Amino acid sequence: MLISTAATCKKEPGHRGIGESERKRPTFSGSGLNVSAAPVLRFSGSARPNSRTASAGAGFTLLELAVVLFIIGLLVAAMAPRLGDVSGARLEATAKRLAAVVRYVSGEAALRNQPYRLNYDLDKQRYWVTKLVVTQESAEFRNDLTPLSRPVQLPSTITFADVQAPGVGRISMGQVYTHFLPHGYADPTIIHLRDQRSHTVTVLIPPLTGEARIYEGYVDGFSLEAKDQR
């Protein structure tokens, strides 16, 4: 025989749920068995950072700023000499590259039995190689197309201070050149290179050997009084 028992709904006093109407949690009882709804967890409030603590750690104290400035000053003082060394190394490298071109041109003139010319443009701060081309109509110096003869632009921090060559003397603007003849003779030329720190290097092209020499400082004439040869 099937007996059905109606369930009654009771409200437990003293318990409050979550919701806008603050309804009480109901329980169901029947046949001596009490079934209650699942308990509801309630949080008192979301975690909020302490505004005083956050504001206190957001900035630097005067002592911390002083320490940072002191460290920056030490780094600048340590890097300053190295910057000077970099500038001097660039000046020396530029002089050595020019000396290498001089050796190349002197060797090409002797090897090909053909006059060559090393041109300097003191306004545009560059130099390049040309060779004498003789035709039935004319004889003129034309650009050499080999890789080592291409125009070379001086670095932005280095300039021609002046160039001294036969027939023109010492000039600091315009164009001047050095001739290299097949039998080994070259126009005696003195080239002064200068960087932004006013350091000067002298590249000297002697008339016979065709082997450029580099001197520290400003060498005036072929007296070669400078003893610090590179």
pLDDT at 203: 96
User: In this structure, is residue 77 part of a structural domain?
Assistant: yes
Q: Residues 54-68: pLDDT tens digits?
A: 444 556 687 777 778
Q: Give the Cα separation of 148 and 104 in Å (integer).
A: 8
User: In this structure, is residue 164 part of a structural domain?
Assistant: yes
Question: Which tokens in the block code for residue 81?
Answer: 């000499």
The position carrying tokens 């975690």 is 47
Of the candidates 42, 11, 40, the residue with the CA atom closest to the CA atom of residue 27? 11
User: In this structure, is residue 127 part of a structural domain?
Assistant: yes
User: In this structure, is residue 161 part of a structural domain?
Assistant: yes
Residue ranges, the chain, pLDDT below 70: 1-60, 74, 76-87, 222-230
User: In this structure, is residue 32 part of a structural domain?
Assistant: no
Q: Residues 215-229: pLDDT tens digits?
A: 999 998 765 444 444
Residue 221's Cβ-count burial label (10 Å; 0-12, 13-18, 19+) is: exposed
pLDDT at 222: 65
Question: What does DSSP say about strands 189-195 and 169-171: parallel, antiparallel, or unpaired?
Answer: unpaired
Q: Give the Cα separation of 76 and 161 in Å (integer).
A: 30
Q: What is the CA radius of gyration of the chain?
A: 45
Q: Are 221 and 190 in contact (CB under 8 A)?
A: yes
User: In this structure, is residue 44 part of a structural domain?
Assistant: no
CA dist 215 → 192, 207, 218 (Å): 10, 17, 8
Of the candidates 113, 155, 150, 119, the residue with the CA atom closest to the CA atom of residue 134? 113
Q: Domain range holding 173?
A: 64-216
The answer to pTM > 0.85 is no
pLDDT at 72: 80
pLDDT at 75: 73
Kind and range of the H or E run holding 99: helix 62-112
Amino acid sitting at position 153: Q
* Structural domains in the chain (count): 1
Of the candidates 94, 84, 96, 80, the residue with the CA atom closest to the CA atom of residue 198? 84
User: In this structure, is residue 222 part of a structural domain?
Assistant: no
Residue 97's Cβ-count burial label (10 Å; 0-12, 13-18, 19+) is: middle
User: In this structure, is residue 49 part of a structural domain?
Assistant: no
Query: CATH number, domain at 107?
Result: 3.55.40.10
Kind and range of the H or E run holding 28: strand 26-30
pLDDT at 82: 52
